[in-house]
Amino acid sequence: MFKTTVTPKFGDLDGLRHINNNTLGDWFETGRNELFRIFTPDLKVDYEHWKLILVHNDYDYLKQIFLGHDVEIRTHLLKIGNSSFTLGQEAWQDGKLKVKGTCVLVHFDFMEQKSVPIPDDIRLQLEKHLIPVDEFGKE
């Protein structure tokens, strides 16, 4: 599991005084940074070096998130395929699960514009973060 702490900002609030639901996409992407480093250690972003493309994401908003308390983003591997993998991500505040979501990333060659198999050495690193699907999103 990867853990990232996010401190909500005043600008993350919406008219209902809770964190706007659109903010979670940014926070979950921040939570994927350490996973991105497995594929691109220096996080160099260009067509020759970047190796992942996001093809799906979804969120379940379980409880409101408020200003004034840090949020822990937890990122787990749920499934690893030939060229793609599924992540489960959670946002926790004050010891409570507030939002959970999944996304699918594909190992991708941007120069050739096609998916490519995940190399064995990277697969081994990913497997260290696998959890059973039924454990995801539980308080």
- 135 within domain boundaries: no
Residue 104's alpha-carbon distances to 10, 65, 70, 76, 127, in angstroms, are 30, 24, 26, 12, 15
In a domain, 102, yes or no: yes
Kindly report which listed range (18-27, 55-64, 91-100) carries the lowest average pLDDT score: 18-27
Residue 139 lies in a domain: no
- Angle, CA of 109, 43 and 121, to the nearest 5°: 60
CATH number at residue 24: 3.10.129.10
Q: Where are the beta strands (DSSP E) in the chain?
A: 2-6, 52-61, 71-80, 84-93, 96-109, 114-115
- Residue 25 in any domain: the answer is yes
Q: Does any domain span residue 138?
A: no
Domain assignment present for residue 137? The answer is no
Residue 56 lies in a domain: yes
φ, ψ (nearest 5 deg) of residue 115: -75, 155
* Phi and psi torsions of 83, nearest 5°: -125, -5
Q: Is residue 45, in this structure, part of any structural domain at all?
A: yes
| The pLDDT of residue 133 is above 90 | no
Taking only the tens place, the pLDDT of each residue in 28-80 is: 999 999 999 999 988 877 777 889 999 999 999 999 999 999 999 999 999 99
Domain that holds residue 34: 2-130
Helices (H) and strands (E) in the chain, counts: 3, 6
Would you say residue 139 has pLDDT above 90? Answer: no
Q: What does residue 35 show for φ and ψ, rounded to 5 degrees?
A: -65, -40
Q: What are phi and psi of 3, to 5 degrees?
A: -125, 135
Give the model's pLDDT for residue 117: 98
First-to-last CA distance in the chain? 15
CB 32 within 8 A of CB 75: yes
Q: Coil, strand or helix: which one is 28?
A: helix
pLDDT exceeding 90 applies to what percent of the chain?
76
Do residues 53 and 103 touch, judged by C-beta distance below 8 A? Answer: no
Q: How many domains does the chain have?
A: 1
